[in-house]
Amino acid sequence: MKTLVIGTGGREHALARALAHDPGVTEVHAAPGNPGIAAVATLHDVDPMSGPAVAELAVSLGVDLVVVGPEAPLVAGVADAVRDKGIAVFGPSGAAAQLEGSKAFAKAVMEAASVPTAAAVLCSSVSEVASALDRFGPPYVVKDDGLAAGKGVVVTSSREDALAHAAGCDRVVVEEYLDGPEVSLFAITDGTTVYPLQPAQDFKRIFDGDAGPNTGGMGAYTPLPWAPEGLVGEVLRDVLQPTVDEMARRGTPFSGLLYAGLALTSRGTRVIEFNARWGDPETQPLLALLDAPLSPLLMGAATGTLASVPAPVWKDGAAVAVVMASAGYPESASRGDVITGTDAAGSLDRVHVIHAGTALDGADLVTAGGRVLAVVATGGDVQAARASAYDGVAAISFPGAQHRSDIAAHVES
């Protein structure tokens, strides 16, 4: 099978790497890719946001399957443009990607499907925001309605900061605060059959101890030894399957990767958000432990035949990813800082390096984005994997590099 991965990030590198290791895959192409992806795929300089350009590339390469990685092209309908050419695509239509593209749409679907989530009010004026804040009380949760790369949400006990964030958005959702640990539970679906993956957890704040602003994610691990028994079955029954069924009922079936961000609150499991694509960096440790070829699952989801593909199974042990970010992240990103040590890190036992915001400057590997790379390690348990991941991080350096030192630190194996 010939495949084409669309995107430039760590998630796309992890997907391309898994496809490159898949015996059923003969060619892996990527557009536009990054220097890490170039090691496992042939790169093409095509705008990932242009449906016609991506579709034309897929046709000219004669690929069997296109995997659209990031949310922005999905919401823009890039998967539709490829599907219109008769090529199988892993990733939802633009209409179905509204599950991520609009928090208000996601809330409406959850309500219709009786999926447990935080009570919320959609506001379009400052006075509506003010009264919603007073209704729920602190801590305040204020979300930009549109796509914001994980940075559109403010959780604060300051009413003033909550109002200030709302003032910068067109439409905002103000919602009830959810306590309790967060879990990322992904499912592969063809619009009917739903295969949950192993639960993972990511670390959203920039600094140790969950301090500082939200980021796209600074690290992740899987599995979760502390997760309640039966969690996956419960979420499949109460969240994933009802959501997929409701999307089909509306005439906008969802196929691809449905990402449920969950809070395990004292009052039960609640959905924090849906995403319409693989989570980053959770995908990196998940794919490191997937004990099945990836392409049949992606192809089954893309062609409505997932029920005929065996459900995914997982290697024993655990995997941990630690993100290294550039100076200034998440407010800004520093470009052009020379990165050293990735080969040394990648040659450590059970360690590999996944590139996100990297570029080549002559012979030098340099930073080219906020999240620069992730060091991913597997091990017999979470602490063993964590120790190896940090050995990899220690081998890599670039000016201004930031990483959290407490990814998966408090997880008992």
Sign of CA dihedral 146, 261, 194, 287: positive
Binding mask 231-270 for ligand AMP (x = CB under 6 A): ------------------------------x---------
What is the maximum span of the chain, computed from C-alpha positions, in angstroms? 58
Strands 335-338 and 318-325: unpaired
By a kind-dependent CB cut-off of 5 to 8 A, residue 330 interacts, out of ligand AMP, ligand GLY, none, with none
Q: Which is nearer to ligand AMP, 55 or 185 (CB)?
A: 185
Under rule CB under 6 A, residue 109 binds ligand AMP: no
Out of 57, 74, 89, 141, name the contact with ligand AMP by CB under 6 A.
141
300-329 binders of ligand GLY (CB under 6 A): none
Long-range contacts (CB closer than 8 Å, 24 or more residues apart) made by 305-309: 305/190, 306/188, 306/189, 306/190, 306/192, 306/193, 306/195, 307/190, 307/192, 307/193
φ, ψ for residue 106, nearest 5 deg: -60, -40
Closer residue to ligand GLY, CB minimum distance, 272 or 299 = 272
| Cβ count within 10 A of residue 123 | 21
Residue among 10, 36, 196, 279 that touches ligand GLY (CB under 6 A)? 279
Considering only 22, 144, 202, 337, the residue that binds ligand GLY (CB under 6 A) is 202
Helix (H) or strand (E) holding 188: strand 182-189
Rounded alpha-carbon distances, angstroms, from residue 88 to 24, 101, 246, 288: 16, 22, 23, 25
User: Is residue 272 a contact point for ligand AMP (CB under 6 A)?
Assistant: yes
Q: Give residues 204-243 in contact with ligand GLY (rule: CB under 6 A).
A: 216-217
Please tell me whether residue 282 binds ligand GLY under the rule CB under 6 A: yes
The pair of three-digit structure tokens given for residue 32, joined into one six-digit string: 């536009």
**In this structure, what are the phi and psi dihedrals at residue 98, rounded to the nearest 5 degrees?**
-60, -20
- Nearer CB in complex with ligand GLY: 57/147: 147
Could you tell me the smallest distance in angstroms from the CB atom of residue 370 to ligand GLY? Answer: 13
Interacting residue ranges for ligand AMP, rule: CB under 6 A: 118, 141, 143, 150, 153, 155, 175-178, 182, 204, 214, 261, 272-273
